[in-house]
Amino acid sequence: MSQHKITIGVSLKMYFGHARTLAWCRDVARVAAQRPGIVPERVELFVLPTFPALAPAITAIDGAPVAVGAQDLHWADSGAYTGEVSAVELAELGVRYVEVGHAERRRLFGETDEVIKLKTAAALRHGLVPVLCVGEPDRVDADAAIGIVHDQLDAALAEAPAGRVIIAYEPVWAIGAPQPAPDEHIRAVCAALRGSGRDTASVIYGGAAGPGLLGRLEGTVDGLFLGRFAHDPAALATVLDEAAALVIKEDAR
């Protein structure tokens, strides 16, 4: 029997206020709890709220098959870094995942490959699963995109200790777009990332990802990284049902 795991992640970015974030987390917890196929071993779901919502989100989700992660971290374990949050504190809170190197962090906050490398290492050092974002800035063919994301991945993992990594392929030109990248493009790039040599890596796709995409990409990605399409818990429920259906289909083979 295949034991392939499908991973669904959601980043809320800075779209919601505090009360709405917690209400959304409670809704998502109910959605996940109502689906017996959503178990971490087969269909894994994680959500990334803002820093102030992390602790109350963990409480709101308690008991449901949903993990909570952070949208960023600092590379140092402690020190005079005003406004920053360490992997040490995140792990102490009960956070299990942390996003690293999103295109918006690179573009708006000047994060370099060196910074992303240090953050990836910090996450793994403290038992967190980095959700490592890679993606080509401009629309190019699949071969060119593969070269770009491989360079980003190699730089990020250059000093990474052992541990699981989730590679989130997000072509920058598809983030916030009306449609995701073409299916064949996603398949080609994700296949190359799957063969990157990191045995503990899962490869998920983000960038205008939503309901229907997971089925079209069946067998070529390990899941999806959702943004605004998951603001509606019903849309997220649809994606979770698609993931559970794929697991059932694989087990029947």
Please identify every residue annotated as catalytic. Answer: 102, 170
Fold classified for 6-252 = TIM Barrel (3.20.20)
pTM, full prediction:
0.95
Domain ranges of the chain: 6-252
Residuewise pLDDT in 10s, the chain (253 residues):
346 899 999 999 999 999 999 999 999 999 999 998 888 789 999 999 999 999 999 999 988 999 999 999 999 999 999 999 999 999 999 999 999 999 999 999 999 999 999 999 999 999 999 999 999 999 999 999 999 999 999 999 999 999 999 999 999 999 999 999 999 999 999 999 988 767 778 999 999 999 999 999 998 999 999 999 999 999 999 999 999 999 988 888 7
The Cα–Cα gap between 22 and 49 comes to 9
